Each structure stands twice: as structure tokens, then as C-alpha cells.
Amino acid sequence: MIDFCQQDQLLSAFLDRALPGNRMDQVRDHLRGCSACRRKLAALQQTDEMIRGLPSLTPSPGFEAGFWAEVTRLEQARRRPSWADRLLADWRPLLAAGLAAGLLAAILIFRPVATAPTAEEVFMVQNMEMLNDFDLLQRLDLLEDWDAVQDVAKEHV
């Protein structure tokens, strides 16, 4: 059994029609026989009426115009390109020239350059010459006529 007199919050919910159907009926029945709860309910109703009785506010003449002006500003801000877009647009020719210069510099820096042979490269080349000489020595048939070759050489000297 609910002691409605101790449940003030139920009166608020009753005032707001926020109780389930059977509970609404129970509170209504209780109110019929309880003058203390009727007074409490009347006081709660009075606070609501005081709020509802506050003066109405007619919008000032500038309210609507001010609002739509704000909307227009908002739309303009949306359409306006961002600072990055504007920077790109204003400096586009310079940016293109800068990119071209950078590309040229990269080509110049990284192009292949003729340099003096290293000691290792010189040694390799000399070895290759020796290899050629060795090829000649392999012609052993020349050695068979070596004396004749020497004679011819003496005649020429």
C-alpha cells in the first residue's frame, strides 16, 4: 500500500500526466479524500501557472533581418576558398617556375660526370693489355720461325 502523502513526487508526475493509467486513477482517488495533498498539488500547479504567466516576448524588428544576415555571412564564408586555395591561386605562376628550377637543379646535380680513373681502374686496364700480349704468345707457330723473324727485323733496323 503506497502512502501517497509521503510521495510528493507522484503529485508532480500526476500533474504532468506522466503516470501509468492505473496509478493516475489511484492518485486521483487519494486526492478526493486528502485535503493536504490537494493543497500540495495546487501549489505545484501555481508554480506552473506563474511560469506560463510570464510575459510574451515579441521579436525585435531587427531579429529576423539579423538572423538572415548571419546566414548570408555563413554562406559567403562557405563559398570563400580556404587560405591554402587562395595561396595556390595567387602564387601559381611563381610556384610553376620554382618547380621547373628545382627540376633543372636536380638534373644538374645528379647528371653523370667524367672523372679521373681510380688506381684500381688503371690496374684493371693494364691487366687487360697483358692479356692481349698473352694472346700473341699463344701464337706458338710464330716461335717456330723466330730466327727468320729476327733476321728480317735486323735487316729493317
Partner 1 sequence: MGYMQADPDIELMLRFKAGDQGAFRRLFDRHKGPMIQFCYRFCGHSGVAEELAQETFLRVYRAAARYRPKARFRTWLYRIATNVCLNEIRRPDYRNRIETLEASDANQAAISSDAAASAGEDRPDVRLALEEQQQMVFKAIAQLPEDQRAALLLRVEQDFSYKEIGRQIGRTENHVKTLIHRGRCKLKQLLAAYFGEEP
Q: Which residues bind partner 1 (CB under 8 A)?
A: 8-9, 12-13, 16, 18, 43-44, 46-48, 50-60, 63-64, 66-67, 70-71, 74
Cα atoms in the 13 Å half-sphere on the side-chain side of 148: 5
Query: Smallest distance from the beta carbon of 87 to partner 1, in angstroms?
Result: 26
Whose Cβ is closer to partner 1: residue 16's or residue 90's?
A: 16
Query: Smallest distance from the beta carbon of 66 to partner 1, in angstroms?
Result: 7
Query: Smallest distance from the beta carbon of 72 to partner 1, in angstroms?
Result: 11
Whose Cβ is closer to partner 1: residue 50's or residue 116's?
A: 50
Assigned C-alpha cell, 136? 700473341
Indicate the SS3 state at residue 3.
Answer: coil
Query: Smallest distance from the beta carbon of 29 to partner 1, in angstroms?
Result: 21
Distances (CA, A) of 30 to 6, 16, 36: 12, 17, 11
Whose Cβ is closer to partner 1: residue 73's or residue 92's?
A: 73
Compute the distance between CA of residue 55 and CA of residue 146 in angstroms, rounded to an integer.
136
Compute the distance between CA of residue 141 and CA of residue 143 in angstroms, rounded to an integer.
5
Query: Smallest distance from the beta carbon of 46 to partner 1, in angstroms?
Result: 7
Whose Cβ is closer to partner 1: residue 42's or residue 96's?
A: 42
Whose Cβ is closer to partner 1: residue 17's or residue 111's?
A: 17
Assigned C-alpha cell, 137? 704468345
Distances (CA, A) of 63 to 56, 67, 71: 15, 6, 13
Assigned C-alpha cell, 155? 735487316
